[in-house]
Structure 1
Amino acid sequence: MKNFFELYDLPVSFSPDPAIVKKQYYALSKKYHPDFYANQSAEIQEEVLQLSTENTKAYQTFSDKKRLIEYVLQLLGAIKEEEHYNLPQDFLIEMMEINEKLMDLQFDPNVEELQKVKSLISKFEAGLNDELNLHTNDFDVVDEDHKQVKLSKIKDLYYRSKYLARLNETLTKMG
């Protein structure tokens, strides 16, 4: 995996400075603009195109909080691709009520009930996002002894948010 933090000369963080990210993006966009290499060999043009693409991917990752969290967790080895994370039982029990309501709504559509479920999921999401922001924003300042604990908590919240995203996809399909 390419290290976007190294590309942008930044320390690994869940909260990189947006002004520095933007500045680095524009500097690298200018440096690796394909038009500046039009008279170079095909190999150099291909390399520049690859660097330009990496720059764009890095900027997109740094600009999207959820994507950034996933990226940093992968970079730090906290999650692996296609990992099967077991969500805590208490969370799954809370979600069981919502899933049951969604199943009922699939068989017996009801606009009012659908709005209640959407509101309930939004409430869960808001609390989860607040907690996730709390942990990611202070990750950089905790001492090394507590970083792994903090990382585990962020990982758990990340997987919970993915679960809620799937519920939202189901809601979107229902109307």
Structure 2
Amino acid sequence: MSEQKKQPNYFEFYELPIQFNPDLNTVKTKFYAFSKKFHPDFYANESEEKQQEVLELATLNNKAYQTLSNPKKRLKYVLELKGIVETDEGYQLPQTFLMEMMDINEALMDLEFEPDVEKMIQVKAGISSIENQLSSELNNLVVKYDETSDESLFPAIKDIHYREKYIARLKERLNP
């Protein structure tokens, strides 16, 4: 039985509350401060153990910054940190959403066999409209969570996260 490695808490590392929209100036300030503090050149004369420890802290700092400064990565990270989303989880999207996506997938298949500029523009506009609606709903939910820490919002946030992933895959098909 393999023991799963505990994910580092980047918010704790940067002394921030767990939020979907942390103060990005603080994130940047902490990143630069730790980049200086944990720069390997300052530890060249230290023991091998100390050099390794500093290298691990520098790596943690880089990963924390990359994750917390990117809205999509940060959303997924917060959901994973809270145990709401698991890596490679098989999430079941709602049937109504899948039916809507089936229409778009059929239109995309038709376009592969019979390219049609007008139809392509319509499909792209439809996908864009769904994407904007999801983004707006998600933004409202994460702002509400950041203000209230109401964890009952997590299922809705998780659902939109997976819908957005689905839409991103559709967009990849549009722009190969």
TM-score over 0.5 (shorter chain): yes
Normalised by the shorter chain, which TM-score bucket?
A: over 0.9
- Kept after mapping to 1: 8 A contact 2:21/2:143: yes
Partner residue, 1:166: 169
Aligned residues: 170
**1:1-150 paired onto structure 2 within 5 Å:** 1-142=7-148, 147-150=150-153
Return the offset for 1:67.
0.6
Distance in 2 of aligned mates of 1:168 and 1:151: 25
Alignment-mate amino acid for residue 153 of structure 1: A
Identity of aligned residues (%): 51
2:175 match: secondary structure: helix
Aligned-residue offset at 1:111:
2.7
Post-superposition Cα deviations, 1:24-65, rounded to whole Å, max 9, x if no partner, equal 111111111111111112222222111111111111111111
Counterpart residue identity of residue 4, structure 1: Y
Consecutive unaligned residues of structure 1, counting only runs of 5 or more, are none
The ranges of structure 1 where at least 4 consecutive aligned residues each deviate by more than 4 angstroms after the TM superposition are none
In the alignment, is residue 156 of structure 1 matched against residue 159 of structure 2?
Answer: yes
What stretches of structure 2 of length at least 5 have no aligned partner?
1-6
TM-score, normalised via structure 1 length: 0.92
What TM-score, normalized to structure 2? 0.92
Structure 1 CA distance, aligned partners of 2:160 and 2:113? 31
Amino acid of the structure 2 residue aligned with 1:70: K
